Structure 1
Amino acid sequence: MARDPDTIQREIEQARDALASTLDQLGTKANPKKLVNEAKAGARSTLDNPKVKFPLIGAGVLVVLLILKKLFS
């Protein structure tokens, strides 16, 4: 059974439009600036958590004290 050339052309155009839409969506999701901003926001929210923030501050103070002890002893 032969298909009508106009029907085939419409199907090709629909497939092309669907592919273009999918590529646009992927381009938006994979935008490097968006990915960087999302990573920064995730890091900030993690560091704002007191269970993470205060141990990091304590570790930083400990490192500074150990460096000062090494320099002045």
Structure 2
Amino acid sequence: MARDPDTIQREIEQARDALASTLDQLGTKASPKRLVDNAKTSARAKADEPKVKYALIGIGVVVGFLLVRKLFR
């Protein structure tokens, strides 16, 4: 059964529009700026957790102590 050429043309245009829309969405999701912003937000949220915050403070104190100790030896 043969299809009408106008119908085929409309289907091609609809498929092309859908593909263009999908590519735009992928481009937005995969943009480097957005990925960096998401990574920053995640890192800040993780650093605000008490366990992580106090562990980082402890590491900073130990490193500071070791540096001061090395300077005055």
- 1:66 corresponds to which residue? 66
Gaps (5+ residues) in structure 1? none
Shift >2 Å, 4+ stretches: none
- 2:40 corresponds to which residue? 40
Q: Is 2:53 aligned against 1:53?
A: yes
Gaps (5+ residues) in structure 2? none
Question: Which letter does structure 1 place at the counterpart of 2:40?
Answer: K
Instruction: Tell me, in whole angstroms, the C-alpha distance in 2 between the residues paired with 1:65 and 1:27.
Output: 48
**Cα-Cα RMSD:** 1.0
Q: CA deviation at 1:3?
A: 2.3
Instruction: Tell me, in whole angstroms, the C-alpha distance in 1 between the residues paired with 2:55 and 2:7.
Output: 66
TM-score, scaled to structure 2: 0.91
Question: Which letter does structure 2 place at the counterpart of 1:29?
Answer: K
Q: C-alpha offsets along residues 31-60 of structure 1, whole Å, 9 cap, x if unaligned? A: 221111111110000000010001111111
Question: Which letter does structure 1 place at the counterpart of 2:39?
Answer: A
- 2:8 corresponds to which residue? 8
Instruction: Tell me, in whole angstroms, the C-alpha distance in 2 between the residues paired with 1:66 and 1:21.
Output: 56
